[in-house]
Structure 1
Amino acid sequence: MWGFFGHQKINRMAVFTLPVEMIGFYKHNIQYLTENAVNPDRRRYAVEGEAPCHYIDLDVYGDSAAYKLPRYWNDAVEQYSEDTLLAYGIVPWHVNRVKYQLTDAMRVGDVRNILRLSADLGHYIADANVPLHTTENYDGQLTGQRGIHGLWESRLPELFSEDYDFFIGRASYIENPQLAIWDAVVHAHEALDSVLAFEVAITEKLGIDKKYSFETRGNVTVKVYSREFSQKYHEALGGMVERQMLRSVKMVGDFWYTCWIDAGQPDLDKLIDFEFTEEELQQRRLELREWKEKNHHSRRHESD
């Protein structure tokens, strides 16, 4: 995951890519879409079967798997079995599934699910654009780089995203969403070697004594990657984190827009006055509590 900050920023900025026919509804609900961008991560521990929806371990399928794996779910199941796919992550196929669910919700004017699925879809798309979500070595644990997950997708955006240029233009229609999300996964995976190699290089250059520092957050003092190390790593990546974050924003907007087009361009302005019931708000609070209790196994990252 991008960390709470990153996911919320991506969903929020995606709203501003939408056309006039959509932006009224989405801006009216921008707080919901921002706050609930992290709902899938809250469910990782509370809901069985949620965790594989966030990643795909391409390297376990052998060389060039990013280019050879079946793009469509039924073909992949036939070749590898559903159990195997679930064991190593299904994010590109899951994005397409949620895309169809959101399209159906728009088609029938199901405002609750439009909002819920829009927030969720933004999360999964953003995850698919993270290089460390495409590998079994997702936290550098296989190469002695444990913690790199939180460094790349949480620490760096929190420190430097204020300087990113989020002016990315209007959302555009995607002819084949399943192939589009696979393109995003491949692009992210191609950056993986640099993500790992530059971390090693900066560690060797600065030394381990300058790699970490301590920061006070509220009443707690925590160990973090130092600002100097983070700055050098960010510079070595050459704008990679910014590019992937902007790609995520644009793709989220594109997918929302594509769902709306495929649903027949319904009048979303008619749905603006919707409000969640107290029971629904209570359910959201319950999900948050379950997430905190972490009832189901899921991959842990530094930002958890």
Structure 2
Amino acid sequence: MILSIALPLIVAAVVALASPLVLYPLLARAGVVDIPNERSSHHRVTTRGGGVAQLAAVWLSGTIAVVCAPSLESQRTMAIVIGGALLTGVLGFVEDARGVRIAVRAGTQLAIGGVVALMFVTTTEASWWLVPTAALGFATYVNFTNFMDGINGISGLHGAVVGVSYAALGSILHVEWLTVVGAIIAIAFVCFLPWNFTPPGVFMGDVGSYLLGAAIAASAMAAHAAGIPPLSIAAPLTIYLADTSTVIIKRVLRREKWFQPHRQHVYQRLVDAGASHLATALVVTLLSGLAALVGVALATRVIHSPSVAIAILTVIAFAYLSLPHFSRIKDH
């Protein structure tokens, strides 16, 4: 059991930290760069697609985890989760390298999510109508993660907090595959941070944000199929869901094209108000961590009522959404 957990994590860390030495110069020579636009929080052309290191780390460590898994059920579940995440990450890399039309991206994300959901439905007693719902949820969170990947550190830290949360839920509730997958997500993405912050820096790109969103979404599907409370699964995603949902709703109500680049996310407004990338990313991570603790408390019956958990998560979300208002007050 120790080998089935420790070996994949060691491989994830080594690959995520070391592979950029080879991969990032290749990206730079291939001209895979990020040019500042209306959404950007940076002002110079920067190499993007750095998430290829996380793609490699998840691929190699995930393969080892599947091979070393103690049961056929764990092997199958991890293979589905890792496979769905990798396919989505490859789609993101193609978008980074050459561009993909929105309709093709959306259709591919829905298709991958649908296949992942279908594989879980066929082995459980879940209703078939959940397949399109889960596919839509999968594609939605992949894009939400992409929308939130606009400043240094935020995605690496999001992977860390969600991964640790899922690993904790798996350990506490004796769902071993979730412990392993959660830990792989956490380690693979936290190891991006040194490369993200060390000059000249590199951006994760769509390959990284797609991979992260898909790994989380597929893990959430599988965790739900394993009987983990849905609210516990969704809790660490509270801040990302709240930020992106409110922005989209506001833009739709104003009849704006919600899918076009903008700077209306809470985290972007905090940076525009003078907060550093790191400080803003840490605020998002801290509140996401608090939300994750609520989810764990619900799963372990420290919090007995889902209504109480929802109330606490709502307070956390509103506190985050209110931060730009307090920044304006401070400025005045």
TM exceeding 0.5:
no
Q: Which has the higher helix share?
A: 2
Q: TM-score, normalised by structure 1?
A: 0.29
TM-score (norm 2): 0.28
